[in-house]
Structure formats: C-alpha cells, structure tokens
Structure 1
Amino acid sequence: MRRRRLAHAALAGLLVVGGLGAAAAFPASATGSAPAHRDVSARPASDGILTAMRHDFGLTPEQAEARLADEKTATALDPKARRIAGAAYAGSWFDARSGRLTVAVTADAPAATRRALDAAGADVRTARHSARRLDSVKSRLDRLSAPSGISGWHVDAKANKVVVDIVREDRSDNDVQRFLAKVRESGPVTVKTVADAPRTLAAGTVGGDPYYTGNVRCSIGFSVYGGFVTAGHCGQPGAGVSGWDGSYIGTFQGSSFPDNDYAWVSVGSGWWTVPVVLGWGTVSDQLVRGSAVAPVGSSVCRSGSTSHWHCGTVLALNETVNYSQGAVHQLTRTSACAEPGDSGGSFITGDQAQGTTSGGWGNCSSGGETWFQPINEILGRYGLTLHTYTG
C-alpha cells in the first residue's frame, strides 16, 4: 500500500509525504516544527502496540496492558538477576502465565543467592548446567561447518540444553547425521526438527513502501543519528539507497553478512530521521524510547514493508542460524512471521527497540518464525546512537 500522506498520532507535528519501508527516515517535505504529543508516559506502550498485541495474542485491552507492564518489569530485572546469580546463573525467561521473570540457578547456588533473587522479584528454578557451560558448548558448535540440513542452534534456558534444529526433510541425510554425532559429544545437546530452513527476506523490486539497493528491496529498521540501521544482506558498503519513489536517500556506510547480518545507511539529500516505527495504517505508529533487551518469553512486534505489523514471542537469544549463504551468529528467534521484503525492518517490545529483521521461514498466511539481529550489537559495532524520543 503506497501512502500519499502519513500522520503520526504520537508525533502530530510531523507530516510525512510518501511512504517508506519500516521507515525511520523522512523526506524534507516533513515539517520541522517541534512535535506536539499527548502524555503517554503512564502507559506501557502506544495504542498501536496494544492493538497489535490484542490481535496477535488474543488478549483483552486490560490483559495487553498488564502483560507489557510485566514484561517491562522483567526486562529491567533481568540484568540485575544475572549479577545476583553470578557463576550459578543458568538462564532466565519471562513467564507470560505468572507475569514474572524466572531465573534458573545451579544446585550449588547458595541459599543467600536464592533469597536475594526471590526478594528482587524473580521466580527461582534449579538447573543442572550453568549458562557458562551451555554457552561454551554452543561456542564449540559455532566453530563447526554445518550442512544445509542443520538450520541453526541456540541455548534453551528452560530445557537447560543446547538445541540443534534440523530440517524435517533432511533428517536422514548422511552429512546431517555425522554432524549430529559430532555435536552430541560436545555436551548437553538435544535435537529438534523444524518444518523448513530459514532464509533471508530481501526481495526483488516491486511496488510499495520500501527502500531499494539495486534490484533488492528491504525495510528500514531504526533511526540512528546520521542514518538508519538495517540488514547486512541488503547491501554492501558504498551501495546507494533510494526510497519508494526512486529518490536518493543515502549510502551503505557499513555492512556485514554472513557471520553477522547488520548494516547502517547514512541519510542525506534532504532526508532526516525520527524515532518512530511505522504502523502501516493497521495500528498507530510507535515511538522509540530505548533499547532494553526483552528476555525470552516476552512479546515482540515487527514492522516491515511487505507484511506490515505482526507480533509474536521471543523464543531464543544468541542463536546461530545456518543460512545457505553461511552461518550468522547472535540472532534472536521469534514466533512473529515475516515475508520477502521485510528484511531489515524493526522489532520492538513496548517502546524498546530490539533489532532488525534478518530472515525466517514460513509466511504470514500459514505462519512461521523469524530471526532478528539485536540492535545494541549493531550500535556498538559502528559506534552509532539510537534516535530515541525523550518527550
């Protein structure tokens, strides 16, 4: 859908001519006045996020607000809980049923540590293997060359194991079986069968509200000062970027793929950035206020130029995904769907930026899963500052 004019409900003073990908950059025809806005500081998220949550999770308005408030509390508690647990830390996740952060610790965790976690507001569970042990096993797998029938691997804190995903139709492949035999020797590993292999989500040139690099269409992720971040597989350093109408936006200044899947594009020629994720007319646009990492189990919503708004759950952190082009590390796995052309688009929990769309399997008709590159890693790699709204 090409929009001729887009009004941001929360940024009433900014009018945008034309549409962009998951746009964080806007043309010079936008007004430059200070934005008027209503006070949303007391709410866990904008009306758009709440609407999407109600639609994709089947929640009432009150349940959607309560879950996002609980997730915000769990997100703030997570790094504190890791420090309290210390060497006994065995993983953590948000439990949607209890609305609390669950923290696993090894059996040798002192009673004082368990009491401190309980006092901080976490539910405590006992696990056999520490997070350090599981991360070490995953690191050994990261050094292996995996066949195409292995779609990826990650640490599952709930299972207290490293999960290796194999594509269903490749279960009997000799190379897959040899790889599995090798990884089982590495430590606590379990195997899971998945429906399909992940793929990157760039697309050929079609109409809509994307950005283009040559004949590749992708989606803008988040504004940073001086440009925006997106997926690395969408373009190489030096490649020019144009908007939906063919006008020049800027240039890829940095890009990495595979191994990583991130990039940033400088903005020029009258374009500038604002801290907004588009709702595509389905929901209101969302202000970006920070980049606190949502724990496993949290809700997350995605915006992209093909499938627009969809929500899901964070399924795993720090996953290695074995694309046909090569392995990409430290991705976050979600149950949100995506389609070709959504690459680079925004993942956000509440008003906190999470990352940029990398790839996935399935689609938004039959369902699937999607991975994103965490935003804080991209910012740190290129020394960028996320453009956030502080009103």
Structure 2
Amino acid sequence: MLRRTPALVAIAIGALVVTTTPAVAKPPSDGMIGALQRDLGITREQALDRLANEARASRTTPSLQKRLGERYAGAWHEGPQAALVVATVDAADARTVTSAGARFKVVQRTLAQLTAVKDGLDRATPPASVHAWAVSPQDNSVLVQTASEQDARAWITASGVDAAAVRVELSAERPKPFYDIRGGDAYYIPSKGYRCSVGFAARRGTTLGFTTAGHCGDVGDATQGFNRVDQGVFRISSFPSDDYAWVETNSQWTAPGVVNGYSAGILPVRGSAVTQPGGSVCRSGSTTQWHCGTVQALNSTVNYPEGTVYQLTRTNVCAEGGDSGGAFISGDQAQGMTSGGSGNCSSGGTTYFQPLAELLSIGGLTLVTAGGDPNPPTGCANYREKYTGSLTANQNQIQPNGTYYQSTVSGTHAGCLDGPNGVDFDLYLEKWSGSSWSIVARGDSANPDEAVSYNGTSGYYRYRVHAYSGAGAYTMGLNRP
C-alpha cells in the first residue's frame, strides 16, 4: 500500500498554528532568591515568579517586537512578580500582545520615535548639570535627569528635538566611573596603579579572555589576576562614548563561564538575553559583594566628567568604588559590565552598566557559558547532523536538505542555528498536521544564533531557517529521537 507523505507546500504565516515548548530550566539558587527578597522587599514566592516571568519575557519580547514592527513602543516589567507589559500605538495589536502572555498598553509615540528624540539629544553637547538621559517606555517619553531644570530645558530646546516627548526630572546624583576598583573577581593594571573587575568570560576565536569596563585600561595595558600572577593584555578598549573592554588572557587562565555571587554562591552564565525595564538584575563586586535591584532604563546616555557615554543601562542596584567592570546578571543571563553611578550601598544609589551585546558584536567575541568547552565550538558541534546554507534578507530555507524527516517514535527534537555575526537569523521547527506545516518550536531572538527543543510524538518534521535581516552562510545542527 502506498503511504501518503507530506508535500513541501508554500508557507502561509497567517495560517500557522503556533505552540512552543520551553526548555527545562534549572531552579535558581537560594542565594539568588534570598538577595532578591532582601533588595526588592518581596517574598520568596514573588521572587520565584519574577525570575520565571523574566525568563519567559526574554523569549517573548523579541518576537513581539518583530510582529508589531514599526508600531512597537517598548516593553517593561511591572509589579513584584515582574509582569511583562508591551506597548504599541495601535489598539488593534491587543490580541497579538495578550495571546503571547503580556499585558497590553496603547501609547502616543513608537519606540523608534522616542529613540530618534534621544539620538537628537545625543548629538547636542550637554551642560554639566545634566546627568543622564534615556528612553522611558513606561511613560512614553525620554527622561532627562538634571540638577538644573532651567539648564536642561535650554539644552533640550537648543537640540531641536520634540520637547513634548521629553520629561525632565531633578536629580542630585552625579555619576562617575568607579576607578580603583574590582568586581566579581579582582584584577590589577600595574601601569595604571589600580584594580578593576572581571565581567564575563568571552573568547575571540580560540583565544580566551574576559569583558570589563573600558575606563579600566587602554589597549596594550598588561593585567595581573587576583593572585598577582600575570594574566593578560587589553586588546579592545573604548571610553568614553562607550565603556567596554576585552582582556586577552594567557594560557594560565581558564574560563568556566560563572559569576562569583558571594552570598548567592557561584552562579552559572547560560546566555545573554536582555531583561526589560522593571526586570530584576544583580551585580557582583568585591567591595560590596552581591546586590540586586531592577532595570530602570535601557539605552541611557550618561554625562560623566570624562565625557559622554551612550547606550548604558540604568539600574537602582547599589555600588561603590571597587565594583567597576564587574558582572551584571539577570537570572542566568549575562547583561553587562559595571560602568559608574552615584550613591553607595548604605543609603542606596544608581548604577549604570555597559550592555554586553555591543562588545560581543564589535569584537567578534563569544560569551563563555557554564559547562561549555573553553575551546570554541565549530558550528553547533554537539549536534549529530549538520547542514549548511546561505541566505539573503527575507529568504527561507528548509532543512534537512530542502525536505523533511520522519520520526517513528516520541522524543526530543533539538535544533541549533549558527549564523554569521551582525545578522538576525531565526529557526523554526515545523510538524506536518496532515494538511499543512505548523510551527511547534521557535528560536526568533534578535541574534544570529538560535536553539530550539521540542518533545514531540511520531510524525513528519522539518526545520525552516529564516533571514529576518542580514545575509550570509549558516550552519544548522539537529538531533532527532
């Protein structure tokens, strides 16, 4: 008897049945939960709900931003349990947002419009009394913090931006870089006479190293580790404008992909999904050790005495001298490196961190994650089957080899996509329903690399690789039951 097999039909996105199966996550440590309870004033149950909601939001937000397109007006977390709120300028988007498990809000300005206003302020030289400015999706404006409202409004007017889109807030803080400091683990810069902090382990090709703050050292400066043993050399450094650096380490150093959380223990790093405003974040530093708080604004511009630094993230996590360059982390997701701030851990304060993604992209670096091999993998190395292809923007390709495969048993289907730097490639696992292909798992972050996992029954499956933006060659790996 002839067995009917599925044809490779054209994909009608609007008709797809979308389901997702999240990967099983390891429970957060008691130290992580305890620090959130202490610093956010929440219960243990609220801390657990918060971490779960933030993890879901890190997957949901990029996908919603793509679907809403130019109508997207930002996202943030609200309440003790960090419920995700997504804003748009079109009330017709309500079903799209709420069906993804987020709260819905209609606002006046898109995120692109607010970013354009902030970019206009970035081009204008600020007075010393203006401390920082950032897009605030929560109130659909650009927030400017200043010691003089008169100075700030004169500067805003001179910049030529839409003043109605700017909110001025009086602030006594005066951010400054944290010199003479160390973070999660100390390291020393003998030529400068001070110490700073290790951020996250990262590699360039086969060469290991770590991220830190740019104001800690210049390209060519040698470093010593916490034990005063020769450690490495600054190969990338940018400050001001940015505040990031990468130190290449010598063969005496290894990279386990963890953060020293002090009271929270040794914490694994498993990715770098960005948490949204209102989401919890924790910082490791050897002076004040382990402290937590929430993200207040992404893409903040800070007017340091040494010069203006752009695209920092503002938090209410406390820090002091000795904490600069150290790791900011949300759950097990790396966020960035301590840059500067104001206040202290007795009375509280504001701390800014340099997001990790820009340094990884510009430096051609790969974040080292917990349990990973310190030698770089070669294109989804841990997957049994490998396929390659090349895409231009908006193209799709089907794998394996333009067709599908049959699974005769139930079990886990796992796929990995390794795309070139600087692109946004997505990976979809689809199952034949008897009449059409339906998405059963998706990896659609704003990154070149994706991974999906799905525990499915027997049937016909295929992977679809999509170039959301950019072009280049990719490697795709898959494991089937």
TM-score tier (shorter): 0.7 to 0.9
1:226-285 deviation digits (Å, cap 9, x = unpaired): 1000000000000001123322110001100000000000111511211110022x2211
Give aligned-pair identity as a percent: 46
- Judging by fraction of residues, say which structure has more strand: 2
Aligned to 1:152: 132
1:126-173 deviation digits (Å, cap 9, x = unpaired): 101111111111111110111111111111111111111102xx456x
**How large is the Cα RMSD of the aligned pairs?**
2.0
1:77 matches 2:79: no
- 1:142-291 counterparts in 2 under 5 A? 142-167=122-147, 170-171=148-149, 176=152, 178-183=154-159, 185-187=161-163, 188-203=165-180, 210-213=186-189, 214-225=192-203, 226-280=208-262, 282-291=263-272
Q: Secondary structure at the match of 1:49?
A: helix
Q: Answer whether contact 2:121 2:156 (CA < 8 A) is retained.
A: no
Pair 366,90 (structure 1): closer, same or farther in 2 beyond 3 Å: same
Greater RCO (Cα-Cα under 8 Å, separation 6 or more): 1
The partner residue of 2:279 within 293, 298, 302 is: 298
Question: Which whole-Å CA distance do the structure 1 matches of 2:349 and 2:117 have between them?
Answer: 27
Query: What TM-score do you get using the length of structure 1 for normalisation?
Result: 0.83
Aligned to 1:378: 359
Q: Answer whether contact 1:330 1:373 (CA < 8 A) is retained.
A: yes
Return the letter of the residue paired with 2:157: A
Q: Answer whether contact 1:44 1:69 (CA < 8 A) is retained.
A: no
Q: Secondary structure at the match of 1:203?
A: coil
Uncovered stretches (5+) of structure 1, i.e. residues with no partner: 1-39
1:301-331 deviation digits (Å, cap 9, x = unpaired): 0001211100000000001111011111110
1:68 matches 2:51: yes
How far 1:180 moved relative to its partner? 3.8
How far 1:49 moved relative to its partner? 1.3
Aligned to 2:344: 363
Task: Give the ranges of 4+ consecutive aligned residues of structure 1 lying more than 6 Å apart after TM superposition.
Answer: none
Return the letter of the residue paired with 2:353: F
Q: Answer whether contact 1:183 1:189 (CA < 8 A) is retained.
A: no
Q: Answer whether contact 1:44 1:68 (CA < 8 A) is retained.
A: no
Question: Which whole-Å CA distance do the structure 1 matches of 2:362 and 2:30 have between them?
Answer: 33
Aligned to 1:314: 295
1:21-63 deviation digits (Å, cap 9, x = unpaired): xxxxxxxxxxxxxxxxxxx964442232112112212233222
Pair 121,315 (structure 1): closer, same or farther in 2 beyond 3 Å: same
How far 1:96 moved relative to its partner? 2.7
Question: Which whole-Å CA distance do the structure 1 matches of 2:266 and 2:87 have between them?
Answer: 36
Q: Larger C-alpha radius of gyration, 1 or 2?
A: 2
Question: Which whole-Å CA distance do the structure 2 matches of 1:63 and 1:178 have between them?
Answer: 43
1:68-105 deviation digits (Å, cap 9, x = unpaired): 01111112111111112111111111123464211111
Uncovered stretches (5+) of structure 2, i.e. residues with no partner: 1-22, 373-481
Return the letter of the residue paired with 1:69: A
How far 1:177 moved relative to its partner? 5.2
Aligned to 1:51: 34
How far 1:211 moved relative to its partner? 0.9
Question: Which whole-Å CA distance do the structure 1 matches of 2:185 and 2:236 have between them?
Answer: 23
Aligned to 1:33: none
Q: Secondary structure at the match of 2:139?
A: coil
How far 1:178 moved relative to its partner? 2.9
Question: Which whole-Å CA distance do the structure 2 matches of 1:50 and 1:166 have between them?
Answer: 34
Return the letter of the residue paired with 2:100: A
Count of residues in correspondence between the two structures = 342
How far 1:183 moved relative to its partner? 4.6
Question: Which whole-Å CA distance do the structure 2 matches of 1:183 and 1:92 have between them?
Answer: 27
Q: Answer whether contact 2:338 2:351 (CA < 8 A) is retained.
A: yes
Structure 1 stretch displaced more, 344-353 or 72-81: 72-81
Q: Answer whether contact 2:120 2:161 (CA < 8 A) is retained.
A: no
How far 1:184 moved relative to its partner? 7.3
1:92 matches 2:75: yes
Question: Which whole-Å CA distance do the structure 2 matches of 1:138 and 1:228 have between them?
Answer: 31
